[in-house]
Each structure stands twice: as structure tokens, then as C-alpha cells.
Structure 1
Amino acid sequence: MGINNLYISEKSKAALTEIQKRLIAEFDVDELVVFGAGVKEAAVDDSDPDLLVITKEELSYSQKKMIKEFVDGINSEYGANYRLMVFDRNTWEVWAGQSLYQEVTRDGVSIW
């Protein structure tokens, strides 16, 4: 399932495509996962889903802040509202027993 199969608005798809393209070009991204509203069924309030960025290596605070500011800029430019979470692969795997990890694993859609 790719971006075009998500149940989100066209502006949200365009924003997500831009986010995906630029994050992959600028950071050592291992996986991008979209989850939450609009992923597998239509969102009732046209809300945007959450975006999980999993990097291959641990990022510094300033690198995570740079990613957040980048996504905020794309959100503003496209009128989207993606909520962002950034984890390195090792830290994300530590979350395996948590409800967030289970939700992402069960309902998330990997777009990279």
C-alpha cells in the first residue's frame, strides 16, 4: 500500500510525498510509517495521520529538531498537519511491548 492508497486528502498526500522525498534525501532513514486517522479507512474529520520516522542510527537533539522543523514547514506549505515521531531503529525496537508500537505494527503503513 502506497501513499496514493491512503484515505487522506490530496493536499495531505502531496505533503506526505514531499516529506518522504526530502527526509530520505537528507537523513539516514530506515523506515517511514504512516499510522492513525486516514490510513486504512476514511478519517471522519479530515485529520492527518501520524508519521513515524525510524532512522538507522541515533540522532542528536539538533538533528531531531531539524526534522521536526522541516515537517512543520511542509505542513504549513501544504496546509497539512502531520504529527511526527522520530526514533532510531534500536530505540524503536525497545518499545516492542508498548501500545504505540503495537498500534503502528498492526495498523501502520510503511511508505519507505
Structure 2
Amino acid sequence: MSRPKNDRAIDLGSPLLNDIADAFLKSATIGVTKAAAEDTYYAVKRGSVSSQDFEYTLKNMCKEGAYYGTVAGVFVTTEYGLESVRGRRDWFLLYSLKLLCSSNTSIGHNAHISSYMLILNL
């Protein structure tokens, strides 16, 4: 069984930890960017920006980054575990993971289900 070769920004010494950290960082970046873009849009639409808006945007960016990164970390960890148990990587593995992670995400955070599905689309 061979895993795809990717360039990593950090090396934690284990392929699983490297994959988790890489997925978390990439997905958290997507969540932070999404939150910043949404809050900037609403601030421009209202026509005013205050320090409270800035604090809210910063908190929202951190929250969304943590949500996106956690979902990606769970996905990668589950994929790694199922791949090692089944001994192969195929379409059944990926679709069962999408189902598992999307159902867990919808239970935990109903407001942004559609945006989390972007991460899970392979």
C-alpha cells in the first residue's frame, strides 16, 4: 500500500501526525478566510466598522478555523485508520468517510453544514 507523496510544511515524525497537521492547517486556513470574507462583506454592506465588529470578526475567524480544522483532522484520522484496517484505499472508504464526517458535523454545528461539505468533497 503506498500513500501519496506530498510536500509538508512541518514534519512530526509520523505519517499520521503529518497528515493530520497538514489537513488541519489547510482547512483552518479555508475557515479563517471564509469568516473574514463574510464579516468584511457585512461590514461594507452596513457602511460602518467599529472595534466591536473587529473583535467579533477575530473571534469568528478563530472559531471557524477551529471547526474546519477539526473536521479535517477527524476525516484524515478516520481515513488513515480505515485504510490500515481494510488494507486498501478505494471509493467505498472515501464515501463512507464522507457520510460519517458529514453526519458528525451536522450534529455538532447546524448553522454551517453547507460550508463544511466543501471540505468533504473529494
Higher gyration radius (CA) = 2
TM-score by length of 1: 0.29
Which of the pair is proportionally richer in strand? 1
- Larger RCO (CA within 8 A; separation ≥ 6): 1
